[in-house]
Amino acid sequence: MKNLNEIFQIHVTADKLTASINVRDIPESELTEIQLTKEMIVQFLQQQKIQFGIRYDSIEQLIETFPHTDFPIIVAEGIEKKDGKPGEIEYHFDMSTKVERKENWDFRDVMRIPTVKEGQKLATIIPPTKGEDGTTVYGTKIKARPGKPALLRPGKNVTYKENEGAVYADVNGQVSIIDNRIHVLDVYEVNESISMKIGNIDFPGSVVIRGDVPTGFTVKAEGDIRIFGLVEAATIIAKGSVTVSEGIAGLKIGRIEAGEDVHIGYVNQGIIKAGNNIYVENSIMHSECTAINDIILRRGNIVGGIISAGGAIIANNVGNRMNTKTNLSFGMDYKLFERQKELQEQLAKLENNRQKLRMLQSRFAGTDKEALDSKSRITLLRLKYSLEKTNEEIEAVKNELAEINATLGSVDRAYLKVKGTIFPNVTVSFGKYERKIEKEYDNVMIVNDNNEIVIRF
């Protein structure tokens, strides 16, 4: 009788979780003479180092049907590892004001003010699970990755009870989540539009304005700012989120800056900066908007201006039939990108100038300074001073470039989704790569694919 190695071959999948047996190319007349036993097959598998998850039912089926077996047959199966589940945060107050990454949301929900009372449980932090290890058909352990813990730390006026894994409010106030810290902040409410009677606002908690913020006024808050009206050419700055029920008509100087999200009805000639996402109910017109993550327009268009996002930009139309110049930038603030190019050009000029100064200075090398006339001495001093000043300028430019490069985000997860039409004269940039749109496209997604800007339908 032939050795089983001459009759069968074993195939193990790349993940080492499945082993199957197949018959070699042998005439059937020779196969009919072979008498198989379960022990023979098991021993053959063990010779191939397969020792875990052996399917004895499959082996018996093989013996009963051989040589007319329907090959290949799975003869061993390992156990797949189960990675641990990440930790979760279960909130015990109305979180409808927190908009997840989605294109549709209820703007009325966003305007609700999440207030809590002293002693109220705010959230329970559910720990991650460890996961379950797996085993290959060779008997090797496959280590499971434990889940990552959910990040939520107690902030102002909040107590964490370790035995419960929960956080509680110490005072009455508004809940604000900033940089993975949960705070309960005092709320300063203004039940009318800002006026000279009220003046500028700089408050250590959250601010609610049930009216407009006219031109020239400034509103600052350590927490969130909610405005149930219009923002004109004013300045709004919050460490948390900013919500404006109507919009901003900024006359190119009105600005809104938020450490977290910005929720707004529309943006017209405004400047918006968000440490997280920007959500716009309607359109963005001739404005500068920058978000570390996403910029999502629920049903509006982007026309003109400079729009920069670290993640996605989602809009109905981009540009218009008048071919208004519109810039969309991913991975870096467009203005920073322009500044980076300026600095690179400036650095090249400075280094070229330094080389010329060194060449001039080298002409005096080896010359006794005492033997130089007064004019040559003055020239040498001026060269030395110019070289020192140029070195300082080069160092300053390099430092600024390093800071800009540090802010350069990854474009791997970035994309532009246009649900309607993208028009000509729109420039789309992913880092240093850019593409100018030269004709109309409908319902497209634009991505960076191996440093090539691709339009997908």
3-state secondary structure the chain: CCCHHHHEEEEECCCCCEEEEEECCCCHHHHCCCCCCHHHHHHHHHHCCCCCCECHHHHHHHHHHCCCCCCCEEEEECECCEECCCCEEEECCCCCCCCCCCCCCCHHHHCCCCEECCCCEEEEEECCCCEECEECCCCCEECCCCCCCCCCEECCCEEEECCCCEEEECCCEEEEEECCEEEEECEEEECCCCCCCCCCEEECCEEEECCCECCCCEEEECCCEEECCEECCCEEEECCCEEECCEEECCCCCEEEECCCEEECCEECCEEEECCCEEECCCEEEEEEEECCCEEECCCCEEEEEEEECCEEEECCECCCCCCCEEEEECCCHHHHHHHHHHHHHHHHHHHHHHHHHHHHHCCCCCCHHHCCHHHHHHHHHHHHHHHHHHHHHHHHHHHHHHHHHHCCCCCCCEEEEEEEECCCEEEEECCEEEECCCCEEEEEEEEECCEEEEEC
Q: How confident is the model at residue 406 (pLDDT cuts 50, 70, 90)?
A: low
Q: How far apart are CA 179 and CA 97, in angstroms?
A: 16
Answer yes or no: is pLDDT of 203 > 70: yes
Answer yes or no: is pLDDT of 75 > 60: yes
Answer yes or no: is pLDDT of 107 > 80: no
Q: How confident is the model at residue 363 (pLDDT cuts 50, 70, 90)?
A: confident
* Max mean pLDDT range (308-317, 336-345, 357-366): 308-317
Give the mean pLDDT of 224-231: 96
> For residue 409, what pLDDT is reported?
55
pTM above 0.85, yes or no: no
Q: Write out pLDDT tens, residues 246-277.
A: 999 999 999 999 999 999 999 999 999 998 99
What's the Cα-to-Cα distance from 401 to each of 81, 344, 394, 405, rounded to whole Å? 45, 8, 10, 6
Answer yes or no: is pLDDT of 389 > 60: yes
Q: How far apart are CA 316 and CA 303, in angstroms?
A: 11
Answer yes or no: is pLDDT of 96 > 60: no
Answer yes or no: is pLDDT of 342 > 60: yes
238 compared with 110, residue with greater pLDDT? 238
96 compared with 94, residue with greater pLDDT? 94
Q: How confident is the model at residue 376 (pLDDT cuts 50, 70, 90)?
A: confident
> For residue 300, what pLDDT is reported?
95
Give the mean pLDDT of 100-105: 53
What's the Cα-to-Cα distance from 363 to each of 354, 376, 383, 402, rounded to whole Å? 15, 11, 11, 34
Mean pLDDT in the chain? 89
Answer yes or no: is pLDDT of 421 > 80: yes
- Judge residue 148's burial from the number of C-beta atoms within 10 Å of its C-beta, 0-12 exposed, 13-18 middle, 19 or more buried: exposed
Give the mean pLDDT of 189-208: 92
> For residue 113, what pLDDT is reported?
60
> For residue 346, what pLDDT is reported?
95
Q: Write out pLDDT tens, residues 7-44.
A: 889 999 999 999 999 988 877 777 777 788 889 899 99
Give the mean pLDDT of 59-85: 91
Any idea which of 22-26, 76-80, 289-293, 388-392 has the lowest mean pLDDT? 22-26
Give the mean pLDDT of 409-415: 74
Answer yes or no: is pLDDT of 178 > 60: yes
Give the mean pLDDT of 73-90: 95
Answer yes or no: is pLDDT of 65 > 90: no
Q: Write out pLDDT tens, residues 185-195.
A: 888 889 999 99
Q: How confident is the model at residue 440 (pLDDT cuts 50, 70, 90)?
A: very high
Give the mean pLDDT of 280-298: 95
> For residue 102, what pLDDT is reported?
52
Spatial neighbors of 208 by CB under 8 A, at least 6 apart, are 113, 187, 188, 189, 190, 225, 226, 228
Sheet holding 18-23, edge to edge: 8-12, 18-23, 73-77
